[in-house]
Structure 1
């Protein structure tokens, strides 16, 4: 019976891709996404690190804990573990699994499966591994089974939010060890097989993946949270935004993932389609090399911050799909408090330039990459800086070339962005303020030991109130002294058919959170 059902699903999926498929042909228990799937490499939770593939992985694999938004803030809630505790040493964690947990094939979920899954990430040493090894300090011996339902994890003493949010990421997905090892080849711990198969305990099962065509998920009837309302989830490969836009309007897809801002704004007046938004997990910034010429003077760096028209960039480049957030902490993160001290004030900027001895301005190369958004940002920044005497020549580079030069402290003025690796303040404080980790602050030669000390202290502090105050102190100091003018935090958006309910909750906090079980028709 299962085999026959699988055949029916595959045949149905094929029908969805036929030209002229109408919305009425898509059952109420099925959702069709339109997305560019070119970025998909693997759906193995120990390897997958790209945004949309990771969102799918989150719905195939359950974790010890889940990260979600509540009242606009990221929180950690139980998933496979119904409770947990941290020992007095601040390093040893104990997780207690729920009763009656099973994988999609009916096998019981045990503590041994948890040990295998988390240790496997460390052993594979693929893209997500550093979140366990470097951030949490995990080794192959760090995770042990106390009994079939109890797991112990020994960390490097990272604060609770760092530990839990990393375990709640897609790389924390728990695998059925028996199934994975039955498909092992040449000691790969199932890596080849898990590229396009699944062995999880999440709400969905990976049924089929036809590259550059479609990905088919089916509901897991054994999911501990109850079988999802939508029994079939299809990701249809639609690379072009214009095609997604037309298919959405015609009712041939339920969700469009890659619309332009202009297309999304056009949908706001539609009666059968709506636009769903959530704050994005990244920052867009102007970076100044604090070791180069005029930018060595903090008054010049402050002048740049007052020269930029932040509102114009948000409206002209992002068509309104961005948040005026001038700190490195995204909305919803621990220690985030709205704090935007800069607005365009050309007179103040000119006065700061004069105080620093640059009343007549100076020349500088402004580097960015080839994406349309970055080029448009650079043009506006160039126009803004010209008003205070800074003559910026825009140099468009391939991203690989630009970042290679940037990592060698070879760029004096840059327009770029930074994606967040896990939802904790430490994931931003280190790159933006701590030169010792050799990321953004170091690339801009901002070798400020006070900022680095604050970041390191906050990143290790176990007392949440003290940790909060350290980040607030760091943020204020960073505003006053740092080499960054933060332009905005992007807003993620989707075009969604009105008959699809729950999209606002399902995509809230994307890409940290994505929950297809919230969707229904």
Structure 2
């Protein structure tokens, strides 16, 4: 059979399989219902959206990967079996495991790592700042010493930052020979890698029919052995109600992006369907512009923090799918130590307002996006503030308009969220505490030099014990002085058929950790 006939036969098989799964999903096949509108590219140097990143993580292998160990994200070997760090903390040497192959059978070499990292820096897409800004890499920073050894010269960032960034999608290693064969007009393979793959991970991107389905198949050359699930089919199902119905009927194994109400209904015992959940890699907050009127006074900001009913937001708005976490560090991150100093105390909030010169309160505008959950959160905050004499007016804006004003310090108060780029305290301290990086602290005009200096110092400390304590101290200072009332850390959840095993471990720490090889039926 020639190559063309093989390709046609393969496509016919996939089409038949996608129709057949509704009636009887094979044990070695996982069918997922999801809204795939956000999918733009499977190129590890380009992809920066959360859900597509999950699949990219399983298509490409990195030098290192992350797994949960005793509740904390921990770097572990992937393509590199070991590594060394120089005494000055800047130069890293990685030794590749022997015998690792790409999906097409080509051996993985250090030159592929060098090419992949230099390519990511050169094409300079959304993820590139992780290499360039966070680690200080240039194209000259990565060098293949021989076939199994590669060196990377960083800016001296602490080890957990370096390894966490290398474990991100941008650290996925490409088959240089295959990518170069598909270059068009010097694009370094970007067009081809949008819907093809050239990795050494557990799966291969077999097909992507926009607005229909995505198909991944097991990599027979995967260095850790073929996974139990041989085929993953992602069916594009735009409506949550349809995804939920398909799950209940048994037409799909997993339903993504179901509503809070649907997830809550799956908590009840069911013979066929279960709910899997894990702490999300994001945070929800209320923020105040520290340069605006009453919010210039920290006592007013403190009053707002004591006025909010955090438990009501978690239990009523989120139906319990959230964790009380009143700091900028997410659970499981380096430096995290539980710290929740605020609870609703109306009398204390009123006294703080009076002490600041606002015994009768004031009027403020709360801006949020069109998200149903954030609008509901804003309503609770509005009611809470009314109890201490603050009249707030909710303004709902399209996200693009809202963030345009926000980035220019143009909002008085906001209900919003923040996604996390890599699992280290530095990824959160900088946006929330260091105004010089021009992110969240800047947007809320909290120009606190002490917090900025503490953040910068912690980012350079290579002694892990000292560094962890520095973040504990920074969190305490931020909680007292900052313009943020952290509402909660969300919980991600999925509806799954009960015959699916290992999904909880596979998605523990989503989306930082996501390993489809742990799933079976």
TM (norm. structure 1) is: 0.98
Q: Which residue does 1:420 correspond to in 2?
A: 420
Aligned-pair CA distance for 1:144: 0.1
Q: Distance in 1 between matches of 2:327 and 2:189?
A: 42
- Segments of 4+ moved more than 4 angstroms: 1-9, 21-24
SS in 1 for 2:30: strand
Contact 1:22 1:251 in 2 (8 A): no
Q: Distance in 2 between matches of 1:482 and 1:420?
A: 19
SS in 2 for 1:450: helix
Q: Distance in 2 between matches of 1:98 and 1:378?
A: 52
Query: Is 1:131 matched with 2:130?
Result: yes
How far does the alpha carbon of each residue in 1:302-353 deviate from its partner, in whole angstroms, 9 at most, with x for none?
A: 0000000001001121111100100000100001111000010101111111
Aligned-pair CA distance for 1:7: 5.3
Q: Which residue does 2:369 correspond to in 1?
A: 369
* Inter-CA distance 5–351: structure 2 relative to 1 (3 Å threshold): farther
Q: Distance in 1 between matches of 2:17 and 2:291?
A: 57
Q: Distance in 2 between matches of 1:451 and 1:99?
A: 46
Aligned-pair CA distance for 1:24: 5.3
Q: Which residue does 2:328 correspond to in 1?
A: 328
Q: Distance in 1 between matches of 2:344 and 2:14?
A: 52
Q: Distance in 1 between matches of 2:48 and 2:319?
A: 28
Contact 1:22 1:250 in 2 (8 A): no
Query: Is 1:499 matched with 2:482?
Result: no
Unaligned segments of structure 2, at least 5 residues = none
SS in 2 for 1:38: helix
Q: Distance in 2 between matches of 1:83 and 1:9?
A: 39
Aligned-pair CA distance for 1:12: 4.5
Q: Which residue does 2:25 correspond to in 1?
A: 26
Q: Which residue does 1:84 correspond to in 2?
A: 83
Contact 2:253 2:496 in 1 (8 A): yes
Q: Which residue does 2:95 correspond to in 1?
A: 96
**Backbone CA RMSD of aligned residues:** 1.3
Aligned-pair CA distance for 1:11: 3.4
Q: Distance in 1 between matches of 2:17 and 2:304?
A: 52
Aligned-pair CA distance for 1:356: 0.8
Q: Distance in 2 between matches of 1:8 and 1:489?
A: 47
Aligned-pair CA distance for 1:140: 0.7
Q: Which residue does 2:196 correspond to in 1?
A: 197
How far does the alpha carbon of each residue in 1:273-310 deviate from its partner, in whole angstroms, 9 at most, with x for none?
A: 11000100111100011111111111110000000000
Aligned-pair CA distance for 1:17: 4.6
* Inter-CA distance 380–2: structure 2 relative to 1 (3 Å threshold): farther
Q: Distance in 1 between matches of 2:483 and 2:445?
A: 9
Q: Which residue does 1:341 correspond to in 2?
A: 341
Q: Distance in 2 between matches of 1:321 and 1:16?
A: 35
Q: Distance in 1 between matches of 2:302 and 2:6?
A: 64
Q: Distance in 2 between matches of 1:361 and 1:65?
A: 53
Aligned-pair CA distance for 1:6: 6.1
Contact 2:18 2:233 in 1 (8 A): no
Q: Distance in 1 between matches of 2:478 and 2:412?
A: 19
Aligned-pair CA distance for 1:23: 5.5
How far does the alpha carbon of each residue in 1:67-98 deviate from its partner, in whole angstroms, 9 at most, with x for none?
A: 11112110000000000011012100000000
SS in 2 for 1:101: coil
Q: Which residue does 1:517 correspond to in 2?
A: 517
Q: Which residue does 2:378 correspond to in 1?
A: 378
Query: Is 1:216 matched with 2:207?
Result: no
Q: Distance in 2 between matches of 1:10 and 1:324?
A: 48
Q: Which residue does 1:458 correspond to in 2?
A: 458
How far does the alpha carbon of each residue in 1:422-456 deviate from its partner, in whole angstroms, 9 at most, with x for none?
A: 11100000000001111111111111111111111
* Inter-CA distance 88–22: structure 2 relative to 1 (3 Å threshold): closer
Q: Distance in 2 between matches of 1:306 and 1:6?
A: 63
Q: Which residue does 1:14 correspond to in 2?
A: 15
SS in 2 for 1:431: helix
SS in 1 for 2:466: helix
Q: Distance in 2 between matches of 1:123 and 1:317?
A: 44
SS in 2 for 1:26: coil
Q: Which residue does 2:475 correspond to in 1?
A: 475
Q: Distance in 2 between matches of 1:43 and 1:98?
A: 25
Aligned-pair CA distance for 1:10: 3.5
Q: Which residue does 1:310 correspond to in 2?
A: 310
SS in 2 for 1:25: coil
How far does the alpha carbon of each residue in 1:387-443 deviate from its partner, in whole angstroms, 9 at most, with x for none?
A: 001100001111111111111111111111111011110000000000111111111
Summarize the alignment of residues 61-76 of structure 1 with structure 2, pairs less than 5 Å apart.
61-76=60-75
Q: Which residue does 2:411 correspond to in 1?
A: 411
Q: Which residue does 1:489 correspond to in 2?
A: 489
Summarize the alignment of residues 257-296 of structure 1 with structure 2, pairs less than 5 Å apart.
257-269=256-268, 270-296=270-296
Q: Distance in 1 between matches of 2:517 and 2:460?
A: 35
Aligned-pair CA distance for 1:5: 7.4
Q: Which residue does 1:298 correspond to in 2?
A: 298
Contact 1:161 1:424 in 2 (8 A): yes
* Inter-CA distance 12–308: structure 2 relative to 1 (3 Å threshold): farther
Q: Distance in 2 between matches of 1:488 and 1:90?
A: 35
* Inter-CA distance 383–323: structure 2 relative to 1 (3 Å threshold): same
Q: Which residue does 2:431 correspond to in 1?
A: 431
Q: Distance in 2 between matches of 1:253 and 1:11?
A: 20
Aligned-pair CA distance for 1:14: 2.5
Aligned-pair CA distance for 1:2: 10
Q: Which residue does 1:254 correspond to in 2?
A: 253
TM (norm. structure 2) is: 0.98
Aligned-pair CA distance for 1:15: 3.7
How far does the alpha carbon of each residue in 1:12-65 deviate from its partner, in whole angstroms, 9 at most, with x for none?
A: 4424554xx565521100000110000111000110001111110000000000
